[in-house]
């Protein structure tokens, strides 16, 4: 028999060009490189060049895809794709859509619950003349991702603008600071840059999840939340809240995830130094968007950290109303950044799908590992904290009450005061399609003080470790609050706040307010007391008294830590009624921006410059100042050593770079210096094509 009748595959064309039909239809045309990157539950085309024309009556052909180190048909990691007459949804199959000479074009359909990751493709052909099939292995792999455009995928998202933001946008904004002084910084997610898809798949590879579990979005985000932090699995980032960042990059100096993920991949899975919550969250957004799961970074101001799962945040005082520091382990972080990811929850009762909270910052362990979520935001809003995963912890972060306890002479504690609105304010994320801040507090909780909100808090508390905490009313006719002018105190100047004490009764009232101000890490951990005062207050009937409170720069200058935050605790007892007054206010000292001014025309391939200006706000010299400058499509991360900057003096430097991509771009710069952190700036640059 002449061998020309034998059937074999000469070559396979995966039609994987960035600009080709496959990549455009699958919304993967932004990824770097020309691999076949597809999304599950959607058809794609490939072309085969055979040794002779294909005869569908007598010749046989099928495809095989394999992923993981031990592919198995039963686990969904070895897929056999047969030829069919007509394509149907919900199954793997292929159909010949075009035949011309020796070439055939196949349309291949994948299952919407397919395992994601890298697959090896094999083409098998068999003709009547031979017993054995002939196999052909193309050199290129196929990468399968989640598909928010496919109605049958668990991560399906209906709104086109939201998909553009939460899957395809490679730049975002992260919020930090305190609720009255919200700061924003630009973050480069960079999920489509060269090497990033490989790096994100590497993170999934390194996790404990077997390949067969990689089709389940709940499972995938849960292991990613564990893999982004390093305590128990050599994850991507080492957390460091100490203020000493020797041997690594200070958490406030990063402006994006690219450097971090590339370094982790390149160094074979050594945790990158160092991260704090917004860095963990930014990297999580990058990895999940890259894998095709809609995701956003979310900041919660006044974020509680409930260590004993009582679902209340407890503050303890001794007999003299002095705080008992060794007992105050529940902390309220000024802000905390986590993630929302979008998916249905087939593992929970109906109605729990949509946004899920996911937290990659290592705070408390969940089932033995530092991870948190996914917790349904609907379950959080309604107090149904028994729905997995880690819902009680996230509920407490946004909605627990702050309860003040005082020690009695016999060593027991009495609940003396409760603040219903102390935590979970201005929950923020970048708005869809703009750089504005969107407030999403209403998704996490009902309006404060509304009946639904009280019911949710009390429902949740019944599942905590102290179910009977809601009971004791008292006569309360004096109130105390702290107010701040405008955007609040600036770094390097005296801090000034206003204390307002109101007497709501028709009788005079007397009290002494104990004020204590302490430097605080943004995690709510106090570093040390800076100033203590006693303030006698005498109130006439129905009087509203306003007092100025001042903290001189000298008192705090050598005490500050990273986020330059301070907490003022006021406590006292009204002599006539024994009513307890207690309130805690935190404020930050605002830092200056880096001013960036682009110079020259922004054209792809043509050198341009940007002028970066910074003024030292402090009355003393800054030592060892470094700028980190980066911009997607403009330039890779560059460190510029500036050196010392004198008191109140201004430094200007010009950075030259060559834009590589057209369209609206952002150049981001951050300052790294031991004495001053959270200084950054951004410039919008519209790059023209040549």
Using alpha carbons, select from 28, 367, 368, 311 the residue that is nearest to residue 197: 28
- CA-based R_g, the chain, Å: 30
Which residue is listed with tokens 């001042």?
550
Of 72, 76, 293, 112, the closest CA to residue 204 belongs to 293
Beta bridge partners, 639, equal: 628
Q: Which helix (H) or strand (E) holds 648?
A: none
Give me the catalytic one of 127, 150, 277, 341.
Answer: 277
3-state SS of 416-441 is: EEEECCCCCEEEEEECCCCCCEEECH
**H or E element that contains 116:** none
Dist. CA 166–CA 340, nearest whole Å = 10
Annotation: binding site for Ca(2+) = 399, 401, 448, 453
Q: Are 260 and 253 in contact (CB under 8 A)?
A: no
**How many H helices and E strands in the chain?**
11, 37
Task: Determine which one of 259, 359, 390, 562 is catalytic.
Answer: 359
Q: Which two tokens stand for residue 136?
A: 């052909």
**Cα within 13 Å of Cα(224), Cβ side:** 35
Kindly give, in sequence order, each residue whose CB lies less than 8 Å from that of residue 480, ignoring residues fewer than 6 positions away: 499, 500, 501, 502, 513, 570, 572, 581, 583
Residues 6+ apart with CB under 8 A from 684: 664, 665, 666
359 an active-site residue?
yes
The DSSP secondary-structure symbol of 150 reads: -
- DSSP β-bridge partners for residue 238: 273
Find the helix or strand (DSSP H, E) in which 193 lies. none
Helix orientation angle between 451-461 and 391-399, rounded to the nearest 10 degrees: 140
Contact 371, 396 (CB under 8 A): no
Can you tell me whether residue 379 is helix, strand or coil? helix
- The distance between the two most distant Cα atoms of the chain, rounded to a whole number of Å, is 114
> What is the Cβ-side half-sphere exposure of residue 687, based on CA atoms within 13 angstroms?
26
- Kindly list the strands in the beta sheet with 544-551, ordered across the sheet, starting from the edge strand earlier in the chain: 478-483, 495-503, 544-551
26 catalytic residue (yes or no) = no
Q: Tell how strand 142-145 and strand 36-39 pair up.
A: parallel
In the annotation, is 90 catalytic?
A: no
The residue among 391, 395, 397, 392 whose CA lies nearest residue 375 is 391
- Cβ-proximal residues to 672 (8 Å cutoff; 6+ apart), any chain: 249, 250, 252, 253, 625, 626, 627, 628
Q: 605, exposed or middle or buried, with CB in 10 Å at 0-12, 13-18, 19+?
A: exposed
Look at the alpha carbons of 326, 328, 330, 331 in this order and tell me if their dihedral is positive or negative: negative
Which residues belong to the annotated binding site?
399, 401, 448, 453
Residue 484 exposed, middle or buried by CB count within 10 Å (0-12, 13-18, 19+): middle
> Catalytic positions, please?
277, 336, 359
């Amino acid at each position: 028999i002449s061998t020309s009748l034998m059937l074999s595959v000469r070559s396979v064309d995966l039609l994987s060009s960035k600009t080709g039909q496959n990549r455009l239809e699958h919304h993967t045309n932004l990824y770097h490189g020309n691999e076949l990157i597809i999304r599950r539950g959607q058809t794609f085309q490939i072309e085969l060049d055979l040794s002779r024309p294909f005869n569908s009556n007598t010749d046989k052909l099928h495809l095989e895809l394999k992923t993981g180190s031990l592919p198995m048909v039963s686990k969904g990691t070895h897929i056999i794709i047969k030829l069919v007459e007509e394509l149907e949804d919900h199954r793997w199959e292929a159909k010949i859509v075009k035949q011309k000479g020796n070439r055939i074009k196949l349309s291949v359909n994948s299952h919407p619950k397919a395992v994601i990751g890298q697959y090896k493709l094999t083409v098998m052909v068999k003709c009547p003349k031979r017993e054995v099939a002939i196999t052909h292995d193309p050199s290129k792999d196929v990468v399968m991702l989640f598909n928010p455009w496919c109605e049958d995928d668990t991560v399906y998202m209906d709104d086109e603008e939201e998909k553009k933001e939460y899957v395809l946008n490679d730049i975002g904004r992260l919020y930090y600071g305190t609720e009255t002084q919200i700061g924003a910084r630009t973050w480069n997610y960079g999920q489509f840059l060269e090497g990033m898809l490989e790096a994100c798949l590497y993170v999934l590879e390194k996790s404990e999840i077997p390949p067969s579990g990689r089709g389940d979005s709940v499972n995938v985000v849960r292991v990613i939340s564990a893999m982004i932090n390093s305590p128990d699995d050599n994850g991507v980032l080492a957390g460091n809240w100490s203020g000493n960042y020797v041997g690594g990059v200070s958490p406030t100096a990063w402006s994006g995830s690219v450097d971090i993920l590339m370094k982790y991949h390149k160094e074979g899975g050594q945790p990158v130094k160092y991260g704090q919550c917004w860095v963990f969250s930014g990297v999580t957004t990058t990895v999940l968007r890259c894998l095709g799961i809609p995701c956003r970074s979310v900041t919660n101001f006044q974020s509680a950290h409930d260590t004993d799962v009582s679902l209340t945040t407890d503050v303890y005082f001794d007999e003299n109303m002095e705080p008992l520091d060794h007992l105050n382990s529940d902390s309220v972080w000024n802000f905390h950044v986590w993630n929302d990811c979008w998916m249905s929850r087939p593992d929970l009762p109906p109605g729990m799908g949509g946004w899920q909270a996911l937290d990659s910052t290592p705070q408390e362990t969940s089932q033995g590992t530092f991870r948190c979520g996914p917790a349904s935001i609907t379950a959080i809003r309604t107090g149904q904290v028994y729905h997995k995963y880690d819902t009680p912890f996230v509920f407490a972060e946004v909605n627990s009450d702050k309860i003040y306890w005082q020690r009695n002479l016999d060593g027991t504690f009495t609940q003396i005061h409760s603040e219903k609105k102390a935590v979970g304010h201005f929950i923020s994320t970048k708005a869809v399609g703009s750089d504005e801040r969107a407030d999403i507090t209403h998704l996490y909780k009902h309006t404060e003080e509304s009946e639904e909100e009280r019911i949710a808090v009390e429902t949740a508390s019944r599942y905590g470790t102290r179910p009977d905490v809601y009971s004791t009313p008292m006569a309360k006719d004096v109130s105390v609050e702290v107010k701040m002018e405008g955007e609040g105190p600036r770094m390097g100047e005296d801090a000034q706040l206003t204390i307002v004490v109101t007497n709501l009764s028709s009788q005079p009232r007397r009290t002494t307010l104990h004020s204590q101000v302490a430097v605080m890490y943004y995690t709510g951990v106090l570093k040390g007391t800076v100033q203590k005062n006693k303030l006698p207050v005498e109130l006439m009937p129905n009087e509203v008294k306003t007092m100025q409170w001042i903290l001189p720069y000298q008192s705090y200058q050598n005490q500050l830590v990273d986020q330059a935050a301070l907490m003022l605790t006021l406590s006292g007892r009204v002599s006539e009624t024994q009513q307890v007054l207690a309130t805690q206010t935190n404020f930050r000292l605002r830092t200056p921006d880096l001013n960036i001014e682009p110079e020259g025309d922004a054209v792809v391939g043509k050198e341009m410059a940007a002028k970066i200006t910074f003024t030292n706000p402090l009355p003393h010299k800054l030592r060892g100042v470094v700028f980190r400058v980066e911009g997607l499509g403009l330039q890779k991360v560059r460190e510029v050593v500036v050196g010392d900057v004198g008191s109140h003096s201004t430094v200007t430097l010009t950075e030259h770079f060559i834009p590589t991509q057209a369209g609206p771009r952002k150049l981001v710069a951050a300052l790294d210096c031991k004495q001053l952190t959270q200084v950054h700036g951004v410039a919008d640059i519209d790059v023209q094509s040549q």
